[in-house]
Structures are given as structure tokens and as C-alpha cells.
Amino acid sequence: MLAKDLLSDVIPSLKTSDTGLDALNWMEIFRVSHLPIVNNSEFLGLISDSDIYDLNKAEEPIGAHQLSLMKPFVYHYQHIYDVIEIASRLQLTVIPVLDDNKEYLGVITQSDLLHRFADLIAAHTPGGIIEMEIQKNDYSLSEIARIIEDSEAKVLSLYVSQPEPGGRLIVTIKLNRSDIQPVLNAFDRYGYQVRTTYIGEGVSDVKANENYDALMKYLNI
């Protein structure tokens, strides 16, 4: 999934002749805190609601002020993971997208990004979730997949994190079935340490339930 596939068709760009009040009005309508300023097809930067409040003259054209604008962007061919990284690092509500010539194509909204990422990790598809803790040297995606498929299940999504540098890996797996006991039994036979599971309407670990509910609420904002 590339940046060009995530472009919003409703978020407008600002011109330097637009006023701060115009910008705040659009931000309120579309529930964003940033908007791009574009001169023809040249991306000049992002302006935030706090930038406008700092001007103290929101009724004047934006171009009448000396602004120090952020200029974050992604190219149209970059992957959704790159878009998520820059949005998260800079806490952006919109992410500008440029073509190969650095001409402005549009923006990706934080809300659309989260919903598309939810699709990517199969968050809306019924199925069980298993979270395992594995030593880095013991991690083998092919073996994990084989164990799951031998248990008559399929991997819908899988992601790996390492909370502490040099520490154990946390592997989170979304399966295509809610009855995950055969998979858990197989992992136990192979010596894998399962930390938590989420199964249908019930949970086998209170912390896992809290984390999953928080993620679902965040993805549905």
C-alpha cells in the first residue's frame, strides 16, 4: 500500500492569500490541526492551528507574515509504513505527498491512515490474537507459520517489536480463526512462550483485553 493510494480527496490546500481565519475554519470542518500551503504545485510547508494563534492577526493573509513552516512530506511511491513513521514522529494530522519532481499531489489524513492500517493488519477480521515472547536468535517466521498452518489456521497479520534494545522479541499474530487452542497446544509442544491471547468475545489475559480495546478505539477515531 503506497502513499499515492492513500490520498484524501476532500482536504483542501491553502494559498498564501488565504487568511488565518480561513485556515482555522477548514481545520475545524475537517478535524485536522495542520493544512498544507501550496503555490500552484509548489509545496511551501505545513501550517498548524498553533502557528495561526501565534500570529495574533488571524484575519490577515497568511502570506503577509514571516512564517517558519515545517516541510515534512513523503513521495508518492513510499510505503504506508513510511507514512506512519513520519506522522507518528512529528505528530501530524495530515501528511503531504509529492511526486518525483517534488510537486504537490495532496495529503493523507491521520484518520484515513489509521483506518487503512487497520485493514492492513486485519483488525476488523474475526480471529484470535496470540502474543509470544521469543529470543532474537530463536525467531523463525517460517517455523511459526508452519506450526500455525499445521494446526489448520492461517496468519492474517504478524508484527514484531523489541521493547528493550537487545531484549526478547514480542511477536503478535492475528489468526483467521477464533478457536486458537490447537495453535496454542502446538506452540507449547515446540517450547514457545505465549504471553497473552485474545479469543473472540473473551480474553485469557486482562492486560491483553485492555490493550486490544484501546487499539480499537484509537483506530476508530
Residues 126 and 203 in one domain: yes
| This prediction's pTM | 0.71
Structurally, the chain folds into a number of domains equal to 2
Residues 14 and 101 in one domain: yes
The three cell numbers locating residue 1: 500500500
Residues 110 and 128 in one domain: no
Residues 106 and 129 in one domain: no
Residues 64 and 9 in one domain: yes
Contact 94, 72 (CB under 8 A): no
- State pLDDT tens for residues 164-196: 887 899 999 999 998 999 999 999 999 999 999
Question: What is the span of the domain harbouring residue 36?
Answer: 3-119
Choosing from 90, 119, 148, the residue where a domain stops is: 119
- State pLDDT tens for residues 28-67: 999 999 999 999 999 999 999 988 888 777 788 888 777 7
Half-sphere exposure of 29 (CA within 13 A, CB side): 10
Contact 76, 4 (CB under 8 A): yes
